[in-house]
Copies of this chain bind each other. A is one copy, B any other.
Amino acid sequence: MLLFTDVITLSTERERALVDVTLEAQRMVRRSGVREGMCALYAHGATAALMIQENDDPNIGEDVVDCLDGLIPNGVWRHDRIDGNGASHIQAGIVGPSETIPIRDGKLDLSTWQNVFFCEFDGPRRRRTIAVTILGN
Protein backbone atom coordinates (compact mmCIF):
# COMPACT_ATOMS: atom_id res chain seq x y z
CA MET A 1 0.00 0.00 0.00
CA LEU A 2 1.35 3.40 -1.03
CA LEU A 3 0.85 6.61 0.99
CA PHE A 4 1.47 9.94 -0.74
CA THR A 5 0.96 13.36 0.83
CA ASP A 6 1.37 16.86 -0.61
CA VAL A 7 -0.23 20.31 -0.63
CA ILE A 8 -1.97 22.26 -3.40
CA THR A 9 -1.26 25.99 -3.02
CA LEU A 10 -3.38 28.65 -4.69
CA SER A 11 -4.19 32.33 -4.50
CA THR A 12 -7.70 33.69 -4.91
CA GLU A 13 -8.55 36.85 -6.82
CA ARG A 14 -12.06 37.62 -5.66
CA GLU A 15 -13.95 37.93 -2.40
CA ARG A 16 -16.11 34.95 -3.14
CA ALA A 17 -15.65 32.44 -5.94
CA LEU A 18 -15.20 28.80 -6.87
CA VAL A 19 -11.72 27.97 -8.20
CA ASP A 20 -11.14 24.81 -10.24
CA VAL A 21 -8.28 22.72 -8.80
CA THR A 22 -8.93 19.47 -10.67
CA LEU A 23 -5.78 19.66 -12.79
CA GLU A 24 -3.54 20.13 -9.74
CA ALA A 25 -5.20 17.22 -7.98
CA GLN A 26 -4.93 14.96 -11.06
CA ARG A 27 -1.24 15.85 -11.30
CA MET A 28 -0.64 14.71 -7.74
CA VAL A 29 -2.46 11.44 -8.32
CA ARG A 30 -0.16 10.82 -11.27
CA ARG A 31 2.94 11.69 -9.24
CA SER A 32 1.82 9.40 -6.39
CA GLY A 33 2.00 6.37 -8.67
CA VAL A 34 -1.26 5.05 -7.17
CA ARG A 35 -3.45 3.23 -9.74
CA GLU A 36 -6.35 2.15 -7.47
CA GLY A 37 -7.33 3.76 -4.19
CA MET A 38 -8.56 7.08 -2.82
CA CYS A 39 -7.54 10.72 -2.77
CA ALA A 40 -8.62 12.67 0.32
CA LEU A 41 -8.62 16.43 -0.25
CA TYR A 42 -8.91 18.88 2.64
CA ALA A 43 -9.19 22.69 2.43
CA HIS A 44 -7.46 24.65 5.20
CA GLY A 45 -9.08 27.85 6.46
CA ALA A 46 -12.37 28.26 8.33
CA THR A 47 -13.81 30.43 5.53
CA ALA A 48 -13.00 28.00 2.70
CA ALA A 49 -14.43 24.69 1.53
CA LEU A 50 -14.34 22.13 -1.28
CA MET A 51 -17.17 21.36 -3.67
CA ILE A 52 -17.55 18.85 -6.48
CA GLN A 53 -19.43 20.74 -9.16
CA GLU A 54 -20.28 20.97 -12.86
CA ASN A 55 -17.20 21.94 -14.89
CA ASP A 56 -18.53 23.05 -18.24
CA ASP A 57 -20.50 26.23 -17.55
CA PRO A 58 -18.51 28.84 -15.59
CA ASN A 59 -21.81 30.42 -14.51
CA ILE A 60 -22.36 27.56 -12.07
CA GLY A 61 -19.71 28.89 -9.70
CA GLU A 62 -21.45 32.26 -9.58
CA ASP A 63 -24.82 30.58 -9.13
CA VAL A 64 -23.44 28.66 -6.13
CA VAL A 65 -22.04 31.81 -4.51
CA ASP A 66 -25.29 33.76 -5.16
CA CYS A 67 -27.36 30.91 -3.78
CA LEU A 68 -25.32 30.67 -0.57
CA ASP A 69 -25.37 34.45 -0.15
CA GLY A 70 -29.14 34.48 -0.50
CA LEU A 71 -29.63 31.66 2.02
CA ILE A 72 -26.94 32.77 4.49
CA PRO A 73 -26.68 36.56 4.14
CA ASN A 74 -23.89 38.73 5.41
CA GLY A 75 -24.07 40.94 8.48
CA VAL A 76 -26.79 39.35 10.62
CA TRP A 77 -24.78 36.97 12.83
CA ARG A 78 -23.42 37.21 16.38
CA HIS A 79 -19.93 36.65 15.01
CA ASP A 80 -20.27 39.75 12.80
CA ARG A 81 -19.87 41.94 15.89
CA ILE A 82 -16.37 40.45 16.26
CA ASP A 83 -15.02 39.76 12.82
CA GLY A 84 -17.55 40.70 10.13
CA ASN A 85 -17.39 37.37 8.30
CA GLY A 86 -19.99 35.25 10.07
CA ALA A 87 -21.70 34.23 6.83
CA SER A 88 -18.39 33.02 5.36
CA HIS A 89 -17.81 30.74 8.35
CA ILE A 90 -21.32 29.28 8.30
CA GLN A 91 -21.21 28.68 4.53
CA ALA A 92 -17.78 27.04 4.81
CA GLY A 93 -19.01 24.77 7.60
CA ILE A 94 -22.09 23.61 5.72
CA VAL A 95 -20.30 22.99 2.41
CA GLY A 96 -17.40 21.37 4.29
CA PRO A 97 -13.63 21.18 3.69
CA SER A 98 -13.20 17.46 2.90
CA GLU A 99 -13.93 15.37 -0.19
CA THR A 100 -12.68 11.82 -0.71
CA ILE A 101 -12.47 10.89 -4.38
CA PRO A 102 -11.81 7.40 -5.78
CA ILE A 103 -8.72 6.71 -7.90
CA ARG A 104 -9.08 4.26 -10.80
CA ASP A 105 -6.56 3.53 -13.56
CA GLY A 106 -4.18 6.10 -12.10
CA LYS A 107 -6.68 8.98 -12.28
CA LEU A 108 -9.31 10.68 -10.13
CA ASP A 109 -12.51 8.81 -10.93
CA LEU A 110 -14.67 11.88 -11.51
CA SER A 111 -17.58 11.64 -13.92
CA THR A 112 -17.55 13.60 -17.17
CA TRP A 113 -19.06 16.79 -15.74
CA GLN A 114 -17.57 16.68 -12.23
CA ASN A 115 -14.59 18.83 -11.27
CA VAL A 116 -13.10 19.73 -7.90
CA PHE A 117 -13.51 23.35 -6.80
CA PHE A 118 -11.93 25.29 -3.96
CA CYS A 119 -14.62 27.58 -2.47
CA GLU A 120 -13.28 30.96 -1.43
CA PHE A 121 -15.80 32.62 0.87
CA ASP A 122 -13.60 35.38 2.34
CA GLY A 123 -11.02 36.50 -0.22
CA PRO A 124 -9.03 37.56 -1.98
CA ARG A 125 -6.18 35.65 -0.33
CA ARG A 126 -2.59 35.43 -1.39
CA ARG A 127 -2.18 31.87 -0.14
CA ARG A 128 -4.74 29.13 0.35
CA THR A 129 -3.85 25.44 0.78
CA ILE A 130 -5.46 22.06 0.21
CA ALA A 131 -3.90 19.00 1.87
CA VAL A 132 -3.74 15.97 -0.42
CA THR A 133 -3.58 12.46 1.05
CA ILE A 134 -3.48 9.54 -1.38
CA LEU A 135 -3.74 5.88 -0.36
CA GLY A 136 -3.75 2.85 -2.64
CA ASN A 137 -1.82 0.45 -4.82
A98 to B53, CA, bound (A): 12
Q: Are A98 and B100 in contact (CB under 8 A)?
A: yes
Contact of A133 among B37, B78, B97 (CB under 8 A): B37
How many A residues face the partner with a CB closer than 8 A? Answer: 58
Q: Are B63 and A102 in contact (CB under 8 A)?
A: no
Assess whether A14 is interfacial by the CB under 8 Å rule: no
Residues in A lying within 8 Å of B, measured CB to CB: 1, 3, 5, 36-38, 40, 42, 44-46, 51-55, 57, 59-60, 62-64, 66-67, 71-72, 77-79, 82-83, 86, 89-90, 92-104, 109-111, 113-114, 129, 131, 133, 135-137
A1 to B89, CA, bound (A): 35
The 19 listed contacts between A and B (C-beta, < 8 Å) are A1-B3, A3-B137, A5-B104, A37-B133, A42-B101, A51-B94, A52-B98, A53-B89, A59-B78, A59-B79, A59-B82, A60-B86, A62-B78, A63-B86, A64-B90, A64-B94, A67-B72, A97-B99, A111-B129
Nearest CB of chain B from residue A89's CB, rounded to whole Å: 5
